[in-house]
Structures are given as structure tokens and as C-alpha cells.
Amino acid sequence: MNSLKKFPDKFIADLKAIINPRDFVTDEEKIKPSLTDWVGYADGKSSLMLTPRNTEEVSGILKLCSNYKIPIVPQGGNTGSVAGAIPNGEIILNMTKMNSIREINPNDYTVTVDAGCILEKIHELAIESNRFFPLSIGSQGTCTIGGNISTNAGGISVLKYGNMRDLVLGLEVVLPNGEIWNGLRRLRKDNTGYALKHIFMGAEGTLGIITAACLRLFPEITEKATAFASLRNLDSCVDLLELLRTEGGDSLSSYELIPDIGLDIAITYGEEIIEPLSKRYQWNVIIEFSGTKNDGAAKLNLENTLNTAIENGIILDAIIANSLKQANSIWKIRKAIVEYQPRLGGEIKHDVAVPISNVPEFIKEANDAVRRVIPDIRPVAYGHIGDGNIHYNVCPPLEYDHVSFKEKTEEIHKAVYDIAFKFGGSFAAEHGVGVVKKNEMLRYKSETEINLMKLIKISIDPNQIMNPGKVLENKKY
Ligand code: FAD
Ligand code: 2HG
Ligand code: ZN
């Protein structure tokens, strides 16, 4: 209990009156997984983790924290990429025990869930009602809906369905003073003043705790056609997207860039990954068409469109999966890049967005810029280019000293982000700001934008107890 000494006795006693003893966690071993992240950015500290089971408990905790001005860090599945859920001595409010489905309304195409529900559970639930929930990200077996909303997560289906913000109809939020805002509306249309839900989405836990959400569902997807295609050159990625959009319309659900170095990583380190084409090319894409009819139309359409692309010289070769196994093998290439890229001696990550038509120029200019910092550096530019979102990660040259590489991080960040900025792009497309990109906030956002954010922050969280030191600098405004 010594670890709790820094908190007033009365505060701890009052907390214990609100929350069940098993949800009041001080055991270091149990807290440990919440102090680090998968990217290796974080080395957190905390002596207390609370795992509430309902909205009233969250409300009671926040009211107390507000009264005592004791800060908390909200945490879902802790799969975030920017250390946003990692405490620096604060109490952790882990939401994973709030994981009930509140109601599903297939006719309204909605489902209302607790914020701690795991994303994959929502996928399964939707299918049981012949519906589809489209947010699709590599961490879906672990991440929570609350975390997805708080980071406004993206993934591989944004092209067709939008990002998390577009999939949320209503929210229930506990404000920092403990007040509960019930905004759980199931409406597509509701123009009644300011869109408050949008303030909490993408706020990375700095404005309140999302305790529940009403999500949009879609007709069940019963047919998918997946292809791996090699582009004539990088510029062709824009022409191919244009053709796929024109010919595929709403069927086009994913468009992901795979560079040859990414394919190399996947084949070298991944399991059950088959070389998709007989020859390797420098730039490739994974394409998915999907539909609700299960009549072969998606596959036929994709086949015809790719034939046109070959005839027009936009692509050099392509394969369409003939079985689910083959489709999975193609998608495994994409997943393996994320998992195994660190094996190339480490990586410096960038999650940038530029207008789609600028993707090729961005990649070429960024390659030149990072090579000016370290001549033989190995860029791995991949990801959701159908949304203009490039995971522009760079690995060191072969045999390069690890420490020297890490020392170049800031220089490389600046080189890459300056180019994204020049194209009117973003330094944080889908992963958020957290702790990791706070400097970029100051460098690339206008004073007006930062000041507006500070005004929102201070009016909702005057005691600054919500996730201090994340997104905006932690100081009294
Ligand atoms: P956490 O990491 O626990 O928290 C993220 C942020 O949200 C923190 O700031 C936290 O304080 C806040 N928060 C969490 N829950 C709440 C709540 N209930 N109320 C208020 N604030 C809260 N992201 C993408 O966008 N696209 C991808 O394609 C993608 N792929 C990934 C693949 C892998 C293998 C991994 C490991 C991660 C990937 N991510 C991706 C990143 C990550 O999974 C997402 O950011 C996800 O949305 C985080 O959810 P979480 O529950 O783990 O949140
Ligand atoms: C993905 O698209 C994730 O797989 C992770 O957003 C990307 O950080 C990365 O490399
Ligand atoms: Zn991504």
C-alpha cells in the first residue's frame, strides 16, 4: 500500500467506497502491461489502476479525481501507436471491463456498446444479425471501441466506409467533473446545435471518458475479391485508383500500397506467405472489391478492371485470389510488414497523409530527403494510399549502428513531415498525437488552431485531470 502514499488517505477511502476491491489494482505485475506499448516508445509509471464496470463507477471516480485535482489516464486495449494511453505517474482508468453490448437494432443498422468492447467482438456480433461493422485494423482482437473512437482509428476500409468518426452516431461520455452526458442517439440526422460528439472523438482521452457508443452497421458483406497487382511505376498508383473507382464504384473497399522491400520483409519473416507473382516489381498494391450479393459480380468486375489496367499499361501483372486461403495469404503480406519491419534493425515511424494525387511525389521527395540524412537508409512506404495515408517508416542501412540511427530520429521526422506539410498534408493521419507528436503540433498547427483547442480543453477540463501531457502541452492555460 506504500505505493499509494502520494494520494490523500481520504481520496483512497472514497475511491474504495465507489469501486469493488478487485477493480482497485495495486499489484505491480498486473499494472506492468499497461506501462509499455507495442512500438517501444513508452516507459510509463503508475501505482494504481482502476478497472470500472459501469458508467456510474466512472462518474464517481472522475468526480473524486476532479475534487482532489488528481489526474487520470484512460486506457482501452493499449494498442495505440503514440503513447497516448501510457501514464507518467497518474492513475490508469482501464476500460476493458466495461464490455457489454447494450442493444443491437438490425433494422436501424445500429449497435450500442460499452466503450471497453473489443472491436472484433463487434464484427462477430454484427454478422450474427446479417450486418457488417467495417472498421478493420490489425489490432482488432485487442483494441477497444473507446480507444478506436478516441484515436479516430482508420485502417483498410476507410476508402469505402470512412474512419471511426464516420461510424459513430452517438456517445455517452463522463465529463471530468463526473457529470454523465447521454448523447447515445441512433440518428443519421440530428442538426441540433454543435456536434458535441465530434469534440470527444479523436481527443485521445483529454476531454472525458467515453463510456458507450452507438455505432453504424452496414449490410453484411457476402462476397470479396482480393488482388495483388504490380504497378508500372509509383505514379501509376493514382491512375489505377482512378480506374478502380470509376469501374468499381462502391465495390472498391481497400487499396493498400506494398513496396518491394515490404514484400521482402513479409516473405523473409512471415509464415505461410506465398510469393504472389512470378516476378517481383518495385511497387505493388493490394486491392479489395466487396459486395452484398454473393453472385460473383465483385470478382468479375475486378478481373475486367485489372485487364483494362494491363491493356492501358497502368499495371504490369496481377493475381486475383481464387480461394479464401489465397486471399488470406495476400493480406498476410500486409500484416507481416507491420509485425516484422523492426527486424531490419529498427524503424522510425511516420503516419502521414497527403492529398491522394500527391502520394507519388511525396514518397519520392521523402526518399530523397531521408537519404540526405542517412545515405543508404531503407524507406518502407506502405499502407492506405486509397486515403492518401502513407505509413512512411524508415529502417537503417544494413549493419548501421542502432544508437546512431535513433539519434537521427528528430532530423528524419522533420525531413518527412516538412514534405507532407508542403503538400498540405498531416503528420498524424490515423494514429493520433499522444506524447510522441506534441512537437509537431507546435511546429505545424497554426496558433489559432492550437488556441482553439486549448479553449476547448480548459472549458471542459478546468482542473486538467484528463490525460495530462498528451496532445497539447501540459500547462495551465
Ligand atoms: P489505447 O491504446 O488504450 O488508447 C488510445 C488513446 O485513447 C489513448 O489516448 C487513451 O487515453 C484513449 N482512450 C482509450 N479508451 C478511452 C475511452 N474509453 N475514453 C476516452 N479515452 C480513451 N490504428 C489505425 O488507426 N489504423 C490501423 O490500421 C491500425 N493498425 C494497427 C495494427 C497493429 C498491429 C497495432 C498494434 C495497432 C494498430 N493501430 C491502428 C493503432 C491502434 O490499434 C488504434 O489506435 C486503436 O484505435 C487504439 O485502441 P485501444 O483500445 O488499444 O486504445
Ligand atoms: C497499419 O496500417 C497500422 O497496419 C500500423 O496503422 C502501421 O505503424 C505502422 O507501421
Ligand atoms: Zn494504418
Ligand 2, atom nearest to 383 Cα? 2
Percent of the chain with pLDDT over 70: 99
Residue type at position 268? T
C-alpha cell at 272: 505461410
Question: For 237-254, what is each residue's pLDDT tens digit?
Answer: 999 999 999 999 999 999
Residue 477: pLDDT over 70: no
Distance CA 427, CA 420 (A): 7
Task: Answer positive or negative: Cα dihedral of 359, 362, 367, 368.
Answer: positive
Q: Are 327 and 224 in contact (CB under 8 A)?
A: yes
420 has pLDDT over 90: yes
Of all atoms in ligand 1, which is nearest to the CA of residue 470?
Answer: 9
- Report how far ligand 3's centroid is from the alpha carbon of 255 (Å): 12
Q: What residue type is 403 in one-letter code? A: V
Predicted TM-score (pTM) of this structure: 0.98
CATH annotation of 223-341:
3.30.70.2190
C-alpha distances out from residue 8 to 3, 5, 26, 176, Å: 12, 7, 16, 19
Output the pLDDT for position 2: 58
Give the residue extent of every domain in the chain: 101-219, 223-341, 345-432
What is residue 475's predicted lDDT score, i.e. its pLDDT? 61
**Rounded Cα–Cα distance for residues 380 and 72 (Å):** 36
Q: Are 93 and 73 in contact (CB under 8 A)?
A: yes
DSSP 144: B
Burial 11-20 (b: 16+ CB within 10 A, else e): ebebbeebbe
Task: Give distance in angstroms: CA of 308 to centre of ligand 1.
Answer: 39
Residue identifier of the C-alpha nearest atom 10 of ligand 2: 338
pLDDT of residue 310: 98
Share of the chain above pLDDT 90, in %: 97
Specify the pLDDT at position 262.
Answer: 98
What number is the average pLDDT over the span 358-380? 98
Average pLDDT over residues 142-153: 98
105 CA to centre of own chain: 26
Domains 223-341 and 345-432 equal at CATH topology level = yes
Please tell me the residue having the least CA distance from ligand 1 atom 49: 147
Q: Is residue 339 pLDDT above 60, yes or no?
A: yes
Report the mean per-residue pLDDT for the chain.
Answer: 96
Q: Are 195 and 324 in contact (CB under 8 A)?
A: no
* Ligand 1 pocket, mutate which of 54, 139, 332 (most atoms under 8 A from CB): 139
Which contiguous run of DSSP H or E holds residue 170?
strand 168-174
Specify the CATH class of 101-219 in words. alpha beta
Determine the CATH number of domain 345-432.
3.30.70.2740
Minimum-distance ligand 1 atom for the alpha carbon of 38 = 36
Q: Which residues pair with 181 in a beta bridge?
A: 173
Tell me what the mean pLDDT of segment 197-225 comes to. Answer: 98
Residue 69 has pLDDT above 80, yes or no: yes
How many CB atoms neighbour CB 394 within 10 A? 28
Q: Which residues line ligand 2 (CB under 6 A)?
A: 81, 138, 338, 349, 383, 391, 393
In Å, how far are 67, 271, 310, 380 from 3, measured between CA atoms? Answer: 21, 44, 65, 43
